[in-house]
Every structure is written in C-alpha cells, then in structure tokens.
C-alpha cells in the first residue's frame, strides 16, 4: 500500500501542484497586462477582435497558446482579451478553441463600427453590387482574397449578355487581385479600376520594410502561394509577379466617381470613362479619401498623406501628424532614416488603440532623442520652411521641410448609402466571415 502511494499518488500530486502553480502565474501575468492596458488607455480593440463565452470556456489556454501577439490571457480561469491593442484580428484564438467558445466581433459597447450588410455570397442589399475585403470588415489577406474569389464565383452565374461588361471590379488590393484572377478564370468580361498608380491596396501604404503577417493563400489561375512573415516589399513583388504571369489587366490612375442604375445593370462613371456592367464588386478598403487638416498651406507639394520611403527624407526636418499606428510607424521609421529632426504631433493627450510594440518603439526613439512627441497639439498653418502649431494651448513654430499627415481616411459610408447599400453600426456584434 505504501509503495503504491509513493509510486502513483505522489507523482500525480506533484503534477497537479506544478499545473496549479503555472496557472496562477499565467493568471497573474494576464491581470498585470490588463491593468497596464487600462491605465494606458489601450484596452479598446481597433477592429475585429475575440469575445469569449464565459459559460462555454473551459480555461484550457489553447487560445493563449495560439495567439502570437500575446493579446489573450486567462483571468478567473477563463480566456480573456487582456491586451486589446495587440490584437490584429486573425482569429487564431477562435480556431484553436476546442469548445467553439470564441467569436470574432466588430466594435465595442462604447465604440461602434460601420459594416455593410452582406449576404453569404458577399452581395449587398442592392442586387448585383458586391463588397469584398476590408470595406466589408475583413482586412486580413487570407480573408480578403477568399471573399474576392467567392464573390466572383457567384457573379459568374449572373451573366446576362446585355451589358458591355459582366463585372466592374473597383480596387487592386488582395481582394481586387483575387477577384480579377477569378474573373479571367471564369471568362468574364471585366474591367478592374484602381485610383492609385500602384497595386496592393493598404499594403502599399505601409512604411518601408514593415513586416506583414499573413498565411498561405490559394488564388485562381495561380494556385497556392505560401506566405508567412514577409516584408511589405516582398509581398508587393509577389502581387506584381502574379499580375504579370496571369496576364490580368488593371487600369491604374482611374478613380470611380459615380454608380447609376440602368435597365440591365449599372453605369460606372470614372475619371476616364464610362462602363456599363451587370455586376459591381467593390474592393476599395476602408481608408477612403485621406483625411486632411484643412489648414493654410496644406496644398504645398511638401505635404503628403502616406509614408512610402523614409530614406527620401534624410537630412530633412519632418513633421508627422496623427495618433494611430500608421503615424507612429511613420515617425519611428523616419527617426531611423537620418532625418535632421522628426516631430510627431497628436491632438489628444495619449495614444489610444495603437499596438503596444509601436508605443514601446516610439518611447524608445523619443528617449534617445531621435524624435519629439507633441501631445495636445494641432497644426495651425504650413509655411514654406516652417510649421505653426498650437501645443498645450501655446503657439509654437518649428523648422520644416516635409509634412506627413497620417490622420486616416474619410470612410466611403456616404457613398454606399447614396447607392442604396445598407450599413449597420456594430457594437460588439458578430459579423459573418
């Protein structure tokens, strides 16, 4: 009996003790992370994020292990979003949950998020107008490409032969590229419009060398492309190669201006022409038109609304305006590119809804004297070699050669409503992928 106790019971008790100690350590770390997020004002998720069903959760920690950003933790024996600013919405936590106790949602009780109302085929309430990608709520590459593919499969069934085109695809980001490939594969008469002079959508606007987390995707015509942690430039090269090898056509520098209903479909009016089509697929993202400052001097060539290559600003005095991840990433990149000075101006008292890694890098750069952060500040006027600001309600002037405005974009919600597309504001509600 004694031998049995030492051989079996004591090892089991030891394993149980070590398990409990590990769980308590994990829970303490989770509570600490949540406390830091709340005190820093970083506990509001920026977009798609997980909600844990406490009644279903068994506290196994699979979601914690699956989250590479460390956004998920364990509190009171249940899974919880403890570092909201780190969450990028890839859904690995939901996939890993053995009891399907995690759902991905948009918005929170305090902050709503506008999402178009879509069918399982990504068709809007307006018959034959489809939305795929970031505008529909899914910004991840593997999701946007899949949406573009699925939408085109359905569009291929709607050909009526009574219009010049079967589909007009608007946008050349991942969703637009996948849809264009699908259109060619299905022998559709298509035209793909892109208002910029480049493809890639939001990825193109990332700072130079930014790491892009993605996953293998399967594209029409091309097949599977295995992508994991790659940089912006490498990803864009992949898209360019795909477009060239598949020989698909994209019309750059052509902006969609109006959609009009016709007898057999729609008339799409652009900056360069008019296209009569049976269906329309909008893959235009959520950035919309860049939000401007509306201050004197903003029309000068030295004012731009995205950072492409930080090194082009070497030996210049640069002002970055904005408080989101794009603004912080731009300022950090510039501080490492040999600028004479880098100043980051933000109108609020703290940076909310930004990734913790960007906040850490910003603080490190500021501490080393590579850049200056001006909170509670606004731009008053932009002059040839200077910028006038108001900081803490006090006027100030700084030397300046370039201004980069990273204030987000004006969402195309009014345009969607104008053409009759229903948009719902989600306050922590589930959106079907």
Question: Does residue 432 fall inside a structural domain?
Answer: no
Question: Does residue 315 fall inside a structural domain?
Answer: yes
Q: Beta partners for 115?
A: 424
Question: Does residue 22 fall inside a structural domain?
Answer: yes
List pLDDT tens digits, range 296-327. Answer: 999 999 999 888 788 899 999 999 999 988 89
List pLDDT tens digits, range 128-146. Answer: 999 998 777 665 677 788 8
Question: Does residue 375 fall inside a structural domain?
Answer: yes
Q: Tokens in use for 66?
A: 């699956």
380: pLDDT strictly greater than 50: yes
CATH number of the domain to which 401 belongs:
3.50.50.60
Identify whether residues 44 and 97 lie together within a single domain.
Answer: yes
Which contiguous run of DSSP H or E holds residue 35? helix 10-39
Query: How far apart are the C-alpha atoms of 76 and 80, rounded to whole Å?
Result: 9
Report long-range pairs for 270-277 (Cβ below 8 Å, ≥24 apart): 270/193, 271/195, 275/164, 275/165, 275/168, 275/191, 276/163, 276/164, 276/165, 277/163, 277/164, 277/165, 277/166, 277/167, 277/168, 277/191
What pLDDT is attached to residue 433? 47
Q: Output 21 or 264, whichever has higher pLDDT.
A: 264
Mean pLDDT score, 348-375 = 88
Cα–Cα distance list, 242 to 182, 218, 245, 285 (Å) = 13, 12, 5, 20
Identify whether residues 309 and 337 lie together within a single domain.
Answer: yes
Identify whether residues 264 and 174 lie together within a single domain.
Answer: yes
Domain total in the chain = 3
Identify whether residues 278 and 211 lie together within a single domain.
Answer: yes
Identify whether residues 240 and 125 lie together within a single domain.
Answer: yes
Query: How far apart are the C-alpha atoms of 9 and 365, rounded to whole Å?
Result: 55
Identify whether residues 195 and 217 lie together within a single domain.
Answer: yes
Q: What's 224's DSSP letter? A: E
Residues listed for the chain = 433
Task: Provide DSSP, 241-253.
Answer: HHHHHHT---B-S
Could you tell me the residue range of the domain that residue 158 belongs to? 114-288+411-425
Identify whether residues 328 and 190 lie together within a single domain.
Answer: no
Question: Does residue 431 fall inside a structural domain?
Answer: no
Identify whether residues 221 and 140 lie together within a single domain.
Answer: yes
Q: Tokens in use for 384?
A: 């040839």
List pLDDT tens digits, range 184-220. Answer: 999 999 999 998 887 766 666 665 656 555 567 788 9
414: pLDDT strictly greater than 90: no
Identify whether residues 241 and 387 lie together within a single domain.
Answer: no
Q: Beta partners for 289?
A: 410
Residues of the chain with pLDDT > 70, as a percent, come to 79
Cβ distance 383 to 295 under 8 Å?
no
Identify whether residues 278 and 305 lie together within a single domain.
Answer: no
Cβ distance 346 to 377 under 8 Å?
yes
Q: Output 49 or 39, whichever has higher pLDDT.
A: 49
Q: Is the dihedral of CA 114, 118, 124, 129 positive or negative?
A: positive
Question: Does residue 430 fall inside a structural domain?
Answer: no
CATH number of the domain to which 81 belongs:
3.30.70.20
What pLDDT is attached to residue 223? 86
Identify whether residues 120 and 221 lie together within a single domain.
Answer: yes
Identify whether residues 266 and 174 lie together within a single domain.
Answer: yes
Could you tell me whether strands 341-345 and 372-374 are parallel, antiparallel, or unpaired per DSSP bridges?
A: parallel
What pTM, to 2 d.p., does this model score?
0.64
For the ranges 54-58, 75-79, 235-239, the lowest mean pLDDT is seen at: 235-239
Cβ distance 214 to 140 under 8 Å?
yes
């Amino acid at each position: 009996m004694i031998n049995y106790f030492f051989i079996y019971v004591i090892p089991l008790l030891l394993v149980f003790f070590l398990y409990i100690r590990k769980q308590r350590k994990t829970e303490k770390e989770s509570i600490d992370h949540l406390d830091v997020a709340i005190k820093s004002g970083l506990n509001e998720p920026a977009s798609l994020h997980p909600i844990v069903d406490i009644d279903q959760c068994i506290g196994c920690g699979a979601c914690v292990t699956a989250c590479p950003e460390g956004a998920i933790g364990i509190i009171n024996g249940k899974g919880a979003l403890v570092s909201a600013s780190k969450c990028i919405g890839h859904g690995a936590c939901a996939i890993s949950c053995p009891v399907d106790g995690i759902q991905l949602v948009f918005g929170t009780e305090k902050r709503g998020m506008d999402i178009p109302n879509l069918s399982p085929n990504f068709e809007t309430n307006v018959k034959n107008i489809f939305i795929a990608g970031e505008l529909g709520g899914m910004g991840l590459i593997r999701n946007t490409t899949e949406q573009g593919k699925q939408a085109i499969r359905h569009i291929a069934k709607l050909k009526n032969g009574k219009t010049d085109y079967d589909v007009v695809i608007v946008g050349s980001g991942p969703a637009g590229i996948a849809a264009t490939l699908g259109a060619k594969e299905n022998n559709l008469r298509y035209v793909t419009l892109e208002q910029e002079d480049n493809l890639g959508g939001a990825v193109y606007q990332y700072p130079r060398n930014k790491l892009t987390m993605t996953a293998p995707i399967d594209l029409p015509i091309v097949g599977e492309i295995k992508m994991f942690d790659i940089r912006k430039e490498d990803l864009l090269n992949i898209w360019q190669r795909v477009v060239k090898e598949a020989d698909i056509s994209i019309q750059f520098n052509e902006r969609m201006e109006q959609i009009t209903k016709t007898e057999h479909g729609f008339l799409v009016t652009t900056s360069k022409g008019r296209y009569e089509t049976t269906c329309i697929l909008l893959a235009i993202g959520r950035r919309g038109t860049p939000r401007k400052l509306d201050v004197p001097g903003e029309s000068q060539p030295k004012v731009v609304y995205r950072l492409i290559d930080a090194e082009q600003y070497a030996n210049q005095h640069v002002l970055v305006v904005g408080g989101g991840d794009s603004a912080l990433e731009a300022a950090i990149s510039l501080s490492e590119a040999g600028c004479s000075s880098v100043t980051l101006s933000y109108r609020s008292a703290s940076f909310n809804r930004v990734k913790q890694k960007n906040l850490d890098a910003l603080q490190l750069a500021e501490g080393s004297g590579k850049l200056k952060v001006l909170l509670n500040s606004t731009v008053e006027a932009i002059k040839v070699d200077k910028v006038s600001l108001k900081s803490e309600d006090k006027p100030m002037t700084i030397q300046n050669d370039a201004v980069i405005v990273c204030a987000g974009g004006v969402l195309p919600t009014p345009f969607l409503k104008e053409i009759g597309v229903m948009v719902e504001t989600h306050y922590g509600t589930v959106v079907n992928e």
